[in-house]
Amino acid sequence: MAQTLLLLLLLSLCARASLQSCSLLGQPALPLLSSEGDINIGAVFSLHREPVVKAHTFTSEPEPTSCIRLNLREFQFAQTLIFAVEEINNNTNLLPDMRLGYKIYDSCASIILAIRSAMALMNGFGHTLSDTSCQQTPAVQAIVGESGSTPTIGIASAVGPFSIPVVSHFATCACLSDTDRFPSFFRTIPSDYYQSRALAQLVKLFGWTWVGAVRSRNDYGNNGIATFVEAAQELGICVEYSEAYFRTDPKEELLRIVEVIKRATAKVVVAFLSQGDIIPLLNELAVHNISGLQWVGSESWITSRGLSETKAFSFLTGSLGFAIGNVMLEGLKEFLVNVHPSKPPHNLFLSEFWETAFQCSFENSPVVGSRCTGSESLLTLQNQYTDVSELRISNKVYTAVYAIAHSLHNLMMDAALNETHQSVLIPPKVLEYLKKVNFTSKTGEQIFFDSRGDPAARYELVNWQPDDDGTLQFKSVGIYDTSVPSEQRFVLNQGSLVWAGGQTQVPVSVCSESCPPGTRKAVQKGKPVCCYDCVPCGEGEISNETDSNDCIPCDAEYWSNESKDQCVLKYIEYLSYTEIMGIVLVFFSLVGTSVTILVAVVFFAHRDTPIVKANNSELSFLLLFSLTLCFLCSLTFIGRPSEWSCMLRHTAFGITFVLCISCVLGKTIVVLMAFRATLPGSNVMKWFGPLQQRLSVLGFTLIQVLICVLWLTISPPFPYRNMHLYNDKIILECDVGSAIGFWAILGYIGLLAILCFILAFLARKLPDNFNEAKFITFSMLIFCAVWITFIPAYVSSPGKFTVAVEIFAILASSFGLLICIFTPKCYIILIKPEKNTKKHLMGKTDHRAL
């Protein structure tokens, strides 16, 4: 490569000034195929392979380069070019009255010889170059070639400053699309930029995220894999290894690469190799019996008959790759098999080809074997030269010749219309017209070049499938076309695919198994992103895709389901009538209501008895009514909270309990007043008679009503979806609205209860046989104890238990009042009726009996 760079430097200097250093390139060019015409085009093919490059420096003239082994595939390319030229010469519609000629050089797959051939085609000097050679009129108007990207880079760099068009049929390196470096370069085969990205999409399509890569260590392989890796990373694909190899590398390097492939865990290998580089690798893999790999190949080798028909390479079964579309060129087969060394044009290549094809030798030929008679028939041969079933690349040679011919034709027609002299035929003009060429070929292809000299990229997806005779056949299973919208570019018939080893199931090649929905990928430390652990999503997060990188948090009103793959509405919790706790509380509420009504019935039935009369029957019935309401108001706390139920439950609770305590307070005051009334000269009862008792109860209750009205007016309770208490559920509760209003209601109830307790406590030892104040004291003691303990329990209880605590406090305090105040009276009425007399009630008792 250093030699190439130095050569290109010298060429650049030669293009700028006539320097004697140009003579350093003065090694004779190799023999050529030629046919002079009115207009000539050039071509450079690797007609031989495996050049033996001798070490040398630029301090002396380099020794001639020798080449071995005629490349039948490249020779078919050369003959296809000749076929196209003769077809054009026989076409009266294209370049009429002019004969197209050709000069074909052999680069022997050598960069140096490719550049030397380009120089010979550029100025017509095949042996030496002088300081004036660079100024001569070009011998050809355009050059077809080369097959390899690296030699083509050398050719395009050499002739670019002279504006001589170079049209390649097989150089796919994306680097050649740089018009600043290669201003005169065109190609009839798509750039590897599209193929590499298509290969990445192909790998992604089948879920292969862990692949290996092997490339040719030249511009073709390096640029192709670089683009593939870039596209693969964008698609989340990791490359476990990327190895480069060139056919002239020592065997130790090849064995090292084979060992890397053998030890790797990736089951898919992307091979961006030229055909000359992949053969040694495949031979070594066959020796080591390495099979079971899914090969994904580039167009360079994916349609090679020589590889598919080699029995030792059967492990390539199922290989996939993109290839140029196949066509049939009418008349080419007959042309190829009709060549003969004795027929014009006479050249050494035909003789060498004949000897190679029939394994014979002509007189004075160095080839060892039987003597060639010339009567051998190419019709009997089956080799790469005579095989016209795969004309994918040969067609690109054919198209390149026609593209040049059309540009020359258009140029000549415009010159004739403008009556311009024929000197218009100069490479810059040809270059200008080649950029605008647009025609339909005989095979139906639309031929044109974009601003970078590239054609539209269209590939066939080829699958290597076994035939009955054990050979591998190329089956087209899809297309990739960049000329259509991106969503329509890839068309695949996946049902007809055969995979590695002849399997029908898609092979798996991943570093880590896919993470199912409900989990996310966590990259393993120090490893590529394709190697990861599957971590379950956290509470309230989901992943509903396979191999999700992140978990998505659910919205506020949603929560993750058990499998963490879907957000579901949070469970809405409230104290309902259908759950156990709600049923129990309803039961006790109804029991309390029933008992209260039963007591009221008993009192009503014995309303004329002394004990009922003595305990202020009017207040007693009002107290029983308020207790009934207290028991029933607890039911408003159960069920789904609504705007009305929230306002009702708190106001009903506050008003009914004030009514209840007001009645108890009235009874307590009556007891105190009744005792004072028994003292001589006391007239206190007239100040607290039935009317005053009613007014006191009404007054105390109205104060609570006023508080409730203010509360409901300013900031009433409302249903609230509490999503902060629990993550996985919503507590549907009643927000008190104004906390001041809520605590004002409770505070007022507590104030009346404490006042009642104090008065009852003071009257507890009054000397009556049946002193009601004692029972009121106990009831108020229970009431106050319940509501004092209610406050911390209410504040600390979560969710629906807050409501349950409030209901429990209502029921407990109501039962306390009912039992403590009315049980002793019912006991006497029902069990001890003999004590239900005025004498007994008014009788004095021993203090100790109290």
Indicate whether 822 pLDDT > 50: yes
The predicted structure's pLDDT at residue 63: 54
CA distance 85 to 97: 14
In the block, residue with structure tokens 């006991």: 827
Continuous segment of H or E residues that includes residue 731? strand 729-735
pLDDT beyond 60 at 634: yes
Q: Is the pLDDT of residue 842 over 70?
A: no
Which residues are CB-neighbours of 667 under 8 A, at least 6 positions away? 615, 616, 619, 620, 623, 772, 776, 821
pLDDT at 761 over 90: no
Report how far residue 329's alpha carbon sits from residue 331's, in angstroms, rounded to the nearest whole number: 6
Cβ neighbour number for residue 754 with a 10 Å cutoff: 14
Cα–Cα distance, 377 to 380 (Å, whole number): 6
Residues 6+ apart with CB under 8 A from 636: 645, 648, 649, 652, 653
- Read off φ and ψ for residue 392, nearest 5 degrees: -60, -50
Whether 700 and 734 have beta carbons less than 8 Å apart is answered as no
Which range is least confidently modeled, 386-400, 578-592, 715-729?
Answer: 715-729
Identify the H or E element spanning 336.
helix 332-337
- Sequence-distant (≥ 6) Cβ neighbours of residue 23 within 8 angstroms: 128, 129, 130, 131
The CA distance from 796 to 806, in Å, is 12
pLDDT single digits (tens) 44-60: 999 887 554 444 444 55
Query: Cis peptide leading into 252, omega within 30 of 0?
Result: no
DSSP string across 126-180: SS---TTGGGSPPS-S-EEE-SSHHHHHHHHHHHGGGT--EEESS---GGGG-TT
DSSP state of 355: H
Four-point Cα dihedral 808, 814, 815, 820, nearest 10: 140
> Could you tell me where the beta strands, DSSP code E, fall in 203-347?
210-216, 238-245, 268-272, 294-297, 320-324
Cα–Cα distance for residue pair 354/679, rounded to 1 Å: 153
Task: Let me know: does 547 contact 514? Beta carbons within 8 Å.
Answer: yes
**Residue 279 — very low, low, confident or very high, per pLDDT cuts 50/70/90?**
very high
Q: What token pair was written down for 772?
A: 């009601």
Give yes or no for residue 296 having a pLDDT over 60.
yes
Is pLDDT at 31 greater than 60 in this prediction? no
Residues 734, 645: contact at Cβ < 8 Å?
A: yes
User: Between 787 and 388, where is the model more confident?
Assistant: 388
Confirm if 821 and 813 have CB atoms less than 8 A apart: no
Q: Is the pLDDT of residue 128 over 80?
A: no
CA distance 201 to 701: 81
- The amino acid that residue 304 corresponds to is S
Nearest CA to 318 out of 469, 468, 492, 496 is that of 496
Give pLDDT tens digits for 686-709: 555 677 777 888 888 899 899 999
For residues 83 and 75, give the distance between their C-alpha atoms in angstroms, rounded to a whole number.
12
User: pLDDT category, 840, cuts 50, 70, 90?
Assistant: low
How far is C-alpha 328 from the chain's CA centre?
Answer: 42
Rounded CA-CA distance 480/497 in Å is: 16
* Mean pLDDT of all residues in 71-94: 94
Cα 105 to Cα 81: distance, rounded to the nearest angstrom: 12
> pLDDT-derived band of residue 779, with 50, 70 and 90 as boundaries?
confident
pLDDT at 447: 93
Instruction: Provide the pLDDT for residue 366.
Output: 59
What's the CA gap between 8 and 153, in Å, rounded?
A: 10
Between CA 327 and CA 333 the distance in angstroms is 13
269 SS3 class: strand
Of 722, 744, 739, which is closest to residue 731 (Cα–Cα)? 722
Question: What pLDDT is stored for residue 25 in this prediction?
Answer: 41
Comparison of pLDDT for 46 and 783, the residue scoring more: 46
User: Order of strands, edge to edge, in the sheet holding 718-722?
Assistant: 571-573, 729-735, 718-722
**For residue range 656-673, what is the model confidence (pLDDT) as tens digits?**
989 888 888 877 777 677
pLDDT at 465: 93
DSSP category for residue 678: T
Range in 359-363, 424-428, 619-623, 741-745 the model is least confident about: 424-428
Specify whether the CB–CB gap between 246 and 275 falls below 8 A: no
Q: At what angle do helices 392-417 and 427-435 cross, to 10 degrees?
A: 110
Q: Which of 421-425, 710-714, 808-812 has the lowest mean pLDDT?
A: 421-425
CB 301 within 8 A of CB 277: no
The pLDDT of residue 485 is 85
Once rounded to an integer, what is the mean pLDDT over residues 461-489? Answer: 88
Segments in 682-799 forming alpha helices (H): 690-714, 739-762, 772-796
Q: Which two tokens stand for residue 807?
A: 């209901």
Tokens of 369: 């074997």
**Hunting for tokens 């002239």 — which residue is that?**
248
Q: In this predicted model, what pLDDT tens digit does every residue of 135-166 receive, in sequence order?
A: 566 789 999 989 999 999 999 999 999 999 99
Model confidence band, residue 41 (pLDDT cutoffs 50, 70, 90): very high
Distance CA 77, CA 394 (A): 5
pLDDT, averaged across the chain:
84
Rounded to 5°, the CA angle 470-214-523 comes to 115
Taking residues 401-420, what's their average pLDDT?
88
Residue 631 CB neighbours (<10 A): 25
Q: Report residue 790's pLDDT band, with 50, 70 and 90 as the boundaries.
A: confident
Question: In the numeric block, which tokens belong to residue 625?
Answer: 């009514």
Residues near 400 by Cβ (< 8 Å), separated by ≥ 6? 81, 144, 167, 168, 169, 187, 188
**pLDDT interval class at 616 (50, 70, 90):** low
Give the DSSP letter string of 480-543: EETTS-GGGSEEE-GGG---GGG-SSPP---SSPPPPTTEEEEEPTTS-TTSEEEEEPPTTEE-
Element (H, E) at 460: strand 458-466
Q: What is the pLDDT of residue 418?
A: 77
pLDDT at residue 843, as a whole number:
57
End-to-end alpha carbon distance in the chain: 122
Give all domains of the chain, ordered by start, each with its CATH number.
2-189+330-444 (3.40.50.2300), 192-326+456-502 (3.40.50.2300), 519-569 (no CATH), 580-842 (1.20.1070.10)
What's the pLDDT score for residue 674?
A: 61
What is the predicted pLDDT for the residue at 430? 92
Residue pLDDT, tens place only, 321-356: 999 999 999 999 999 999 888 877 666 678 888 888
Banded model confidence at residue 61, pLDDT cuts 50, 70, 90? low
Predicted confidence band of residue 848 (pLDDT cuts 50, 70, 90): very low
CA pair distance 626, 487, nearest whole angstrom: 77
